[in-house]
Amino acid sequence: MKTDQYTAKDFSFRKTCPEIPNTTYLTHKIHSYPAKFIPHIPRWFLKEYGRPGNTILDPFCGSGTALVEANLLGINALGVDINPLAQMLLKAKTGLVDNHDKFSSQCLDIVEKTHEYPPNYVPDLPNLDTWFLPQARKELSQIFGYLLDNPHQFPDEVIDFMLVCASSVVRKVCNADPQISKPFISKRMRALLKENSVEQRALHLLKHNTRIFLDRKIKYMRTIDNLGKIWGYLPTSKMVMNSDARTLRNIRNQSIDSIITSPPYANAQEYFRSIKMELYWLSLLDGDYLKQLNKEIVGTESLPISECRDTPEFGIKELDTALEEIHLIDQKRAHIVLRYFQDMQASIEQCYRVLKPGAYFGLLVGDNVIRKIKINTHSFIQEIAEGTGFSTETVGYDRIVARRLTPKRNVSAGLIEIEWMLIFRKPGL
């Protein structure tokens, strides 16, 4: 059954979890990430549909918000994401260490060592000199050079955590405008550059961010340790390696207790472009890897125009009418939208495969306006899920309050005022 905003449930997630003090508590604010969940959403879902000791999955886990919340509820969590930064963030946010003091002092020791390190490391980033002034380039080179050249001088968890701290500094000393998610030297930044007012002190910021992130991580670890004493075990978060939401490779059939996720929006995000600088400094993008990632992302725009001539057809009447209308105006855009729904269908089928019978699947998604044509993404996703075998349990929405969590989109993508929460159930038991 299709639902509109008048008949759907108003979730107002922020009111549902009074125990969450703010959206950035504990490790949620280690490093920025585009289009993050507010932690209330996965927490509400997991309190409703999860149990301590369960294993849940987020197939588009991004910065790991759902996994952090799962662990705080005693639930084990698996994450899938094609973004290589996601794995580092997950370890930094949920990894536990026995000796907190030793961990902190090793991290701060690294901060000191970077000051003395020769600035020989040069990332593979095209037009490096345009994006960074000499002082920022030198200090970033000392930081990343030290961490990448000396992977064995400290335990892996220390180096990984420090790489995340280092990555959090990159955009702060970059000539690109921090208020625009895609790297871009705006008029405002050009004016700042003329006045020599663009922040350059990467080493100073590394120290500052490391202290703040350590404080958050230690509070998180203490919380989990204390809860673990009550539960009698420590829940884990793991990234499923070499996987993709469209295949869920390396996840067994019927092995997952519930899924909570927020996939990319149709044609509305530029995940890799927005964190390109960080990925290059971290040496996570070699050769054509960025191109490959841009092809694999759900919502990809990397489609050859020669494949966009035919009228796109998905098989849902209302969607096909919208696709035809977009195709008359913009052939490529229409095929980008078609591909988005094909990829989402593959992903939903995989979610069905890995869930246990009777399990719940929560999905947060926004509608779009593309070339002035409304795309009711949520109702098409609902139709796809029902076609896969799921039954719809609840359809609701939440107003987007913090716009910075959903960075500006390009004009053709339109704005998303509300996000839809769809809850499905796999039949059985």
Ligand X SMILES: C[S@@+](CC[C@H](N)C(=O)[O-])C[C@H]1O[C@@H](n2cnc3c(N)ncnc32)[C@H](O)[C@@H]1O
Binding site for ligand X (CB under 6 A): 33, 35-37, 60, 62-63, 65, 80-83, 86, 244-246, 262-264, 271, 296-298
Residue 244 or 383 having the CB closest to ligand X? 244
* 81/240 Cα distance (integer angstroms): 8
Question: In the numeric block, which tokens belong to residue 422?
Answer: 């769809």
CB of 30 closer than 8 Å to CB of 89: yes
Residue 145 or 396 having the CB closest to ligand X? 396
Pairing of strands 391-399, 9-10: parallel
Tell me the HSE value of 276 on the side-chain side, using a 13 A CA sphere: 21
Residue 263 or 362 having the CB closest to ligand X? 263
Residue 62 or 74 having the CB closest to ligand X? 62
Query: How near is the Cβ of 130 to ligand X at its closest, in Å?
Result: 26
Pairing of strands 373-375, 391-399: unpaired
* 100/292 Cα distance (integer angstroms): 39
CB of 237 closer than 8 Å to CB of 90: yes
Residue 37 or 397 having the CB closest to ligand X? 37
The residue count for the chain: 429
Residue 247 or 388 having the CB closest to ligand X? 247
Query: How near is the Cβ of 68 to ligand X at its closest, in Å?
Result: 9
Query: How near is the Cβ of 35 to ligand X at its closest, in Å?
Result: 4
Which among 168, 153, 20 has a CA at the least distance from the CA of 93?
A: 168
Question: In the numeric block, which tokens belong to residue 17?
Answer: 């979890």
Q: Which residue is nearest to ligand X (CB)?
A: 62
Query: How near is the Cβ of 374 to ligand X at its closest, in Å?
Result: 21
Ramachandran bin of 184, using left for φ above 0, alpha for ψ from -120 to 50, beta for the remaining angles: beta
Query: How near is the Cβ of 75 to ligand X at its closest, in Å?
Result: 16
Query: How near is the Cβ of 341 to ligand X at its closest, in Å?
Result: 14
